[in-house]
Amino acid sequence: MVSAWFPRAGAVAFGACLSLAGHACAAELSKPVTFAKDVAPILQAKCETCHRKGTSAPMSLVTYAETRPWAKSIRERVISRNMPPWHIDKTVGIQHFQNDRSLSDAQIDTIVRWVNAGAPLGDVKDLPPAQVWPDEEGWQLAKQYGEPDLVIKSEPYTMPAQGQDVWWKPLADLPITEARWVRAVEMRPATPAGRRIVHHALAQLEQDEPGAASVAGGNGPGLFMEWAIGKQFDQYRAGSGKLLLPGGKIRWDIHYHAVGEPIRDHVELGIYLYPKGEEPKYRTRLSYWEAMSASTNIDIPPNTIAETQGFHVLRQAARLENFQPHMHLRGKAMSMEAILPDGSTRMLSHVDHFNFNWMNNYIYTDDAAPVLPKGTMIRITAWWDNTAANPNNPDPNQWVGYGDRTVDEMAHAWVNVTYLTDQDYKDWVAKNKSN
């Protein structure tokens, strides 16, 4: 039998005190809940990343005065798990993520009890110290790595106030004279105004590299980075990274859309390098895995639910680092499964309530990232809701097919894949066989 390692699915909490004895649970629920002592720490940990002054969120949730008017709305949003935006199915697959911003059942219970009690402030002495956030105009990874070693800029583009969507595809040189390894990468529209017109941006690495396509399943060096709301940077695990070669270029693919006023902007790619002479053992490639094939293209009749699948074979043993579904307005759900060489199937991740407004990237923790043998088939399944029940659907009476426009559809997952040698895989399985 071919072995593979999968993390145990995380148990779902069913309440803040179900594990306690009855009287202890009642005592816990009878404790007063206040903003200062109980709610503010949750907002700092899970909400302030977006909900603070100077961000694109519609309101700040930093102070009590800012938060109190929104209390009832916050209650409804957390009960429905609409906020924070985290759309992974918590009942199946991998449940441990580096960037998990979802609320636990206990945290939701705390917020609900606070609102139900009239949203009291409590003792201001209980307030946690104010969270210090990096400057929105600065690089988010600068605190960890310092300023980027390289900053690649796309050629500026002026998007008119009105007009059709534009896909801007300029080319930029990589300013290196020797091979260098990358440990992290960050991308952003250059200005706050630019963020309004950039739907998403891709940075494709183009470099002369014989044999790369056969290893990466036809992806060559692989996509370097995608920026979308909900994804700003990639950090590669210890001992892994991406390789840049002299003469390489970045092929930009930037999706601009009109917002009612002319805006000129560009996109920037910050690259954080390993020190010279330091080479990670493993190379990570960002793979584009479609949930369809040439014979099963997207074909969504009006007022229907549709489904497609795509299959991708690992030509080497590999560790999958993340799962990032990409669909458009009719997108409903997407899953990633592993079909092992022995025929068994394991669910890796399932996004069961996809939301086009949040292109979340679900990054597995070090001990949860699945390690798979050569010959494993990855199955990507996508579902669409082209009915009136989908609140994002612009017109359920329209047929929908594949296309770049927002009103068209796509179905693929971006997955960082770290390929292993056969011996490395055997050693890894031996070390982790108890799991």
For residues 348 and 423, membership in a common domain is answered with yes
Residue 2 within any structural domain of the chain? no
Residue 381 within any structural domain of the chain? yes
Give residue 326's pLDDT. Answer: 92
Contact 255, 200 (CB under 8 A): yes
Residue 346 CB neighbours (<10 A): 15
For the chain, the distance separating the N- and C-terminal CA atoms, rounded to the nearest angstrom, is: 16
Sequence-ordered strand ranges (E) for 178-245: 180-189, 198-206, 223-227, 233-235, 240-244
Residue 162 within any structural domain of the chain? yes
Q: How far apart are CA 413 and CA 275, in angstroms?
A: 31
- Phi/psi-derived region of residue 284, left when phi > 0, alpha when psi is between -120 and 50, beta in every other case: beta
Of 126, 155, 177, the last residue of a domain is 126
Q: How far apart are CA 127 and CA 67, in angstroms?
A: 14
Please provide residue 419's backbone torsions phi and psi, each rounded to the nearest 5 degrees: -85, 140
Residues 6 or more apart in contact with residue 131 via CB below 8 angstroms: 44, 48, 62
| pLDDT tens, N- to C-terminus, the chain (435 residues) | 444 544 433 333 334 454 444 544 555 566 789 999 999 999 999 998 888 887 767 899 999 999 999 999 999 999 988 899 899 999 999 999 998 989 999 999 999 999 999 999 999 999 999 988 766 668 889 888 999 999 999 999 999 999 998 999 999 999 999 999 999 999 999 988 888 899 889 998 888 775 554 443 444 556 788 887 767 888 898 899 999 999 999 999 999 989 899 999 999 999 999 999 899 999 888 888 999 887 678 999 999 999 999 999 999 999 999 999 999 999 999 999 999 999 999 999 999 999 988 888 899 999 999 999 999 999 999 999 999 999 999 999 999 999 888 889 999 999 999 999 999 999 988 888 755
The DSSP 8-state label assigned to residue 406 in this structure reads: T
Of 126, 145, 173, the last residue of a domain is 126
For residues 170 and 319, membership in a common domain is answered with no
Q: How far apart are CA 308 and CA 334, in angstroms?
A: 10
Tokens for 356, please give them.
């086009």
Give residue 339's pLDDT. Answer: 98
Task: Tally the residues of the chain.
Answer: 435
For residues 26 and 162, membership in a common domain is answered with no
Of 251, 279, 307, the last residue of a domain is 279
| Encoded amino acid at 239, one letter | G
Q: Nearest-5° angle of CA 217, CA 237, CA 135?
A: 115
Q: Please give the C-alpha separations between residue 421 and each of 162, 223, 367, 370, 412, in angstroms, as whole numbers.
A: 52, 22, 19, 15, 27
**Among residues 124, 147, 121, 122, which one has the least CA distance to residue 134?**
147
Q: How far apart are CA 424 and CA 316, in angstroms?
A: 11
Residue 14 within any structural domain of the chain? no
Q: How far apart are CA 307 and CA 296, in angstroms?
A: 10
**Among residues 299, 140, 152, which one has the least CA distance to residue 225?**
152
Burial of 180 (0-12, 13-18, 19+ CB in 10 A): buried
For residues 197 and 107, membership in a common domain is answered with no
Residue 342 within any structural domain of the chain? yes
Q: Please give the C-alpha separations between residue 299 and each of 134, 170, 336, 380, in angstroms, as whole numbers.
A: 44, 31, 21, 17
For residues 76 and 172, membership in a common domain is answered with no
Give residue 200's pLDDT. Answer: 85
For residues 160 and 229, membership in a common domain is answered with yes
Q: How far apart are CA 397 and CA 6, in angstroms?
A: 42
Residue 7 within any structural domain of the chain? no
Q: How far apart are CA 382 and CA 333, in angstroms?
A: 6
For residues 295 and 433, membership in a common domain is answered with yes
**Among residues 342, 341, 343, which one has the least CA distance to residue 376?**
341
Tokens for 186, please give them.
């960050």
For residues 76 and 94, membership in a common domain is answered with yes
The DSSP 8-state label assigned to residue 228 in this structure reads: B
Q: What is the tally of helices (H) and strands (E) in the chain?
A: 9, 24
Say how many domains are in the chain: 3
Residues 6 or more apart in contact with residue 71 via CB below 8 angstroms: 114, 115, 119
Range of the domain at 369: 281-435
For residues 239 and 290, membership in a common domain is answered with no
Q: Nearest-5° angle of CA 13, CA 364, CA 188?
A: 115
Give residue 49's pLDDT. Answer: 83
Q: How far apart are CA 5 and CA 95, in angstroms?
A: 15
